[in-house]
Amino acid sequence: MTAPLKNSDPIIVDVALGERAYDIVIGRGVLQSLGARIAALRPGVRTAVVTDRTVARHWLEPAEASLAAAGIPTSRIVVEEGEISKTYAGLEKVSEALIAAMIERNDLVVALGGGVVGDLAGFAAAILRRGVDFVQVPTSLLAQVDSSVGGKTGINSPQGKNLLGAFHQPVLVIADTAVLDTLSPRQFRAGYAEVAKYGVLGDAAFFTWLEKNHADIFKGGSAREHAIATSCRAKAGVVSRDERETGERALLNLGHTFGHALEAATGFSDRLFHGEGVAIGMVLAAEFSAKLGMIGQADAARVERHLAEAGLPTHLQDIAGFAQEGLADADALMALMAQDKKVKRGRLAFILLEAIGCAVVAKDVEPSLVRDFLKEKLGEKPARKA
């Protein structure tokens, strides 16, 4: 693993997909270069910026100013914040607005926002006129290290997370680390779960570095940029080898089978952010791996300890309204997991650990083992807060 960079130059991470390769531009203040980079990439293009109300208050005008300075005509589409927009209705609103804005096949959609906006705008671009290119400008830590890279777009169904979507790669990703300064502490922590995930699943040295440096990542500076760049390189490498998740890319779903079920059980609400669900899901995956004898209990405890030290929820009982709908019912959670995209012919597949830094796809996991494990975890008493 390389040492953190000391200079202020943007870090460029290449996503190597042949003719569809694209750059991830990482650095403080790189949003100012959005217009110039788009103009160089697509001379004469028009754009439509899709964002949410909260992001718009901080970053829509700077984005539009950058586009205007490069002579790029643009229109704006503003949606409500949160998973409420990642629905059939949200997709219809964005799609109709793009059509009304006369966005054509050779134009660009710009997704300015977190994971919800990126998924929603990317999916709308994928289906608009049978495919319009788009640019990701992620404004949350989670989006910068995960959802903006790799081309997964989509919306939620009432029956499950991300069940409707398409693979549609962006043509450029602009990850301005300065925009993260406007995130709430809870939003930043939720995004950090995805950073830690890369260490847990495939880079033991990075995980050890995170254990020592996570406080500096929260403060900002070179440690933050190093963590983001390392995460993006990890994901870019996996995506370039397995774009459509036929093998290795499934490992990036560590913690997500459990986490997505928990998100569905809480109604895709602010009771549980996506990254928080992933954090709990990673702990459950580590503990389930230990229960199956794949890793030692000490390693599972190490994963839980680090995420807890970062301020993330690590137990089912940490979820707001734990005793409410579905959360305290192992069978209900099993039913939600049965809708997971990794289910094959009704058989559950989990991403489990053979060591910190070594995740594997475990196919045909016996459902009774998962159910018994969940019942055990649901029966635990909530930890006392200091």
Residue 1 has pLDDT above 60, yes or no: no
Q: Catalogue all structural domains in the chain, each as residue range(s) with its CATH number.
A: 11-182 (3.40.50.1970), 191-378 (1.20.1090.10)
Tell me if residue 197 is catalytic: no
What is the per-residue pLDDT across 223-258, written as a single tens digit (0 to 9) for each? 999 999 999 999 999 999 999 988 999 999 999 999
Give the pLDDT of residue 187.
96
Residue 2 has pLDDT above 50, yes or no: no
Mean pLDDT of the 174-202 span? 97
Tell me if residue 249 is catalytic: yes
Tell me if residue 194 is catalytic: yes
Give the pLDDT of residue 325.
59
Q: 79: pLDDT confidence band, cut at 50, 70 and 90?
A: very high
Query: Which of the pair, 87 or 338, is modelled with greater confidence?
Result: 87
SS3 355: strand
Return the DSSP state at 310.
Answer: T
The secondary structure of 44-109 as a DSSP string is T--EEEEEEHHHIIIIIHHHHHHHHHTT--EEEEEE-SSGGGSSHHHHHHHHHHHHHTT--TTSEE
Tell me if residue 245 is catalytic: yes
Which tokens belong to 39? 């103009």
Mean pLDDT of the 95-107 span? 97
Mean pLDDT of the 258-270 span? 90
- What average pLDDT does the structure give for the chain? 93
Give the pLDDT of residue 326.
60
Tell me if residue 58 is catalytic: no
pTM: 0.91
Tell me if residue 152 is catalytic: yes
Tell me if residue 344 is catalytic: no
Residue 386 has pLDDT above 50, yes or no: no
Identify the active-site residue in 28, 256, 302, 342: 256
How far apart are alpha carbons 305 and 308 in whole angstroms?
5
Q: 383: pLDDT confidence band, cut at 50, 70 and 90?
A: low
Identify the active-site residue in 42, 224, 226, 274: 274
